[in-house]
Amino acid sequence: MKLIGGKLCGSVAAACLLTFSIGSVAQDAPAQKETKITPEQKKELFRSLNQILSFASDDSQLQIKHEVKKRLITREEVEKYILDKFKEDKDAKRMQREEIVLKKFGLLDRDFQLQPFLVSLLKEQILGYYDNKTKTVNLLDWASPEEQKPVMAHELTHALQDQHTDLEKFEPEDPDTTPKNVAEDNERLAIDERDNARDAVLEGQAMVVYLDYTLKPKGKSLLTLPDVMRTPSEDLESSGSSPIMDRAPLLLQQSMLFPYRDGLGFEQRLLKDKGAQYAFAGVLDKPPSSSYEIMNPTAYERGATVPLLQMPDVHSLLDADYEPYDIGVMGELDVRILTELFGGPEVAAILTPQWRGGLYYAVQSRKAVTPAQQAATSSVALLYLSAWRTEGAAKEFAKVYARELSKKYSGVLRDSAEETSSDEQVYNASEGPVLIVQQGKQVFVSESFDMTTARKLQFLFFGAQKSGETQQARQGDELTTHLTKLMASCGMMKATLRH
């Protein structure tokens, strides 16, 4: 799904989130008297730009082709920038549409209001951003030069990336229409423009330069450090001056941190294995296509991919009663979040490396005609097919998924009389039947379809994978892509520095 790893802010993931103490703009934070940067401090900050740009170029081996514009922005301008993203950005609009699918999966609570929370979160977190449309580094007028110089190293790396490869072309816009037939379904799944992975490349490279800049006075660099990657739970256990981030759902926390944390780990591995030219320009010229490659950098180095599951033709069966709503890849990042939320960090650590592909398909009942009806998760029916390395992993995932049903729906009762084998689980719930079937290394889930339709869909989905048409992943959008991309494109965030 394009949610988290999503394109939340839209233009490009050239804006970052780092953490230093600049004062929260959270709505529930106590009011603080704002201190503005002085004219002398502004001159000092801007004088340092060329020096830091040269450092970033030397560190990344990305060539400086022209000067970079810079400006100071006020807190009001930051807030306007964020609000304009939600009003105008296509990724933000698609994210709003996909909110109901996230709730159907159980990744967000039913009563959670995603957009208002995100606006507050981004106001709290943003530290500065590079605007690839105006080619300008935007810095804060209320933070000191010494606080902002490391942020500048990060953002100037985005400027160098933009000069090496046009960032607007690096992350072209995805289709904003819902596929209406099986050919369009599989074209969407096979789009070779993986936004989550490309965001992680951009932010991971910028984090390398940021850390090298801060480590330089100590005579160290990222190459001299052990591997920086920690588990997501270790990151989220850290607490600091980010009250809104601390209470954000796991989905938002991990989506925000993924491009920085996992992107940094990806880039550090490539730096150690093959050097700066490969890790920077080489990856920009040949970017990874999935979160799987980011989370498994040696797979990227080997050119290994995961299978792209095939979407069967379900339109003749469903289109009379349902409108196609959303389709996408359930990538490794999505699975890590899903399994941690459903089973905890230990289960996620075990199951995530066992993932070998997944897709989801959502439709909306044509009987839902009012805005209120269309906003309800009960109007949406969901299909999810996942593939695993072993039958044991598939079986465990089916159990973990089933245990979460009572948190998503009321009145969940198992209907053993409806089950035809030990590999099936059938439940009745407040939004309709749920069918979970393990077949070998694959797990099929149907939610809110009647059982006759669900079994027909099960046959179609498993049959499509046996047809020999399974492709190699030139993966399409992941479930969390739009969410992740929107947040990444809004600028550097405080939470990143904390971790």
We report the CATH number of the domain holding residue 442 as: 3.40.1000
318 in the same domain as 265: no
338 in the same domain as 270: no
Q: What angle do CA 155, 157, 161 make, to 5 degrees?
A: 120
244 in the same domain as 386: no
217 in the same domain as 157: yes
139 in the same domain as 23: yes
267 in the same domain as 318: no
Q: Where are the alpha helices (H) located in 7-111, listed in sequence order? A: 39-60, 75-88, 90-105
Residue 282 lies in a domain: no
pLDDT in the model for residue 189: 76
Residue 368 lies in a domain: yes
Domain that holds residue 120: 6-274+481-498
Residue 284 lies in a domain: no
Residue 23 lies in a domain: yes
Nearest residue to 245 via CA among 124, 392, 331, 374: 124
What's the DSSP call for residue 132?
A: T
326 in the same domain as 226: no
pLDDT in the model for residue 25: 29
61 in the same domain as 14: yes
CA distance 104 to 112: 12
DSSP assignment of 237-291 equals H---S-HHHHTS-HHHHHHHHHHHHHHHHHHHHHHHHH-HHIIIIIHHHS---SH
439 in the same domain as 488: no
320 in the same domain as 232: no
Are 92 and 12 in contact by the 8 Å Cβ rule? The answer is: no
Residue 285 lies in a domain: no
Residue 397 lies in a domain: yes
Residue 10 lies in a domain: yes
> Around Cβ 302, how many Cβ atoms within 10 Å?
10
Structure tokens at 493: 């965030």
Residue 288 lies in a domain: no
Report the predicted TM-score, pTM, of the whole model to 2 decimal places.
Answer: 0.84
412 phi and psi angles, rounded to 5 deg: -75, 120
CA distance 121 to 131: 20
187 in the same domain as 74: yes
Strands 69-73 and 136-140: parallel
Q: How many domains does the chain fold into?
A: 2
E strand or H helix that includes residue 198: helix 195-215
- Per residue of the chain (499 residues), what is the pLDDT tens digit? 544 333 333 333 334 444 332 232 233 334 455 688 999 999 999 999 999 999 999 999 999 999 999 999 998 898 888 888 777 766 666 677 789 999 999 999 999 988 888 888 888 778 889 998 899 999 999 888 898 999 999 999 999 999 999 998 887 666 667 888 888 888 777 663 467 889 999 999 999 999 999 999 999 999 888 876 554 445 444 445 567 778 889 998 888 889 999 999 999 999 999 999 999 999 999 999 888 999 999 999 999 877 788 999 999 999 999 999 999 888 899 999 999 999 999 999 999 999 999 999 999 999 999 999 999 999 999 999 999 999 999 999 999 999 999 999 999 999 999 999 999 999 999 999 999 999 999 999 999 999 999 999 999 999 998 754 444 333 445 556 656 666 566 665 555 554 4
170 in the same domain as 86: yes
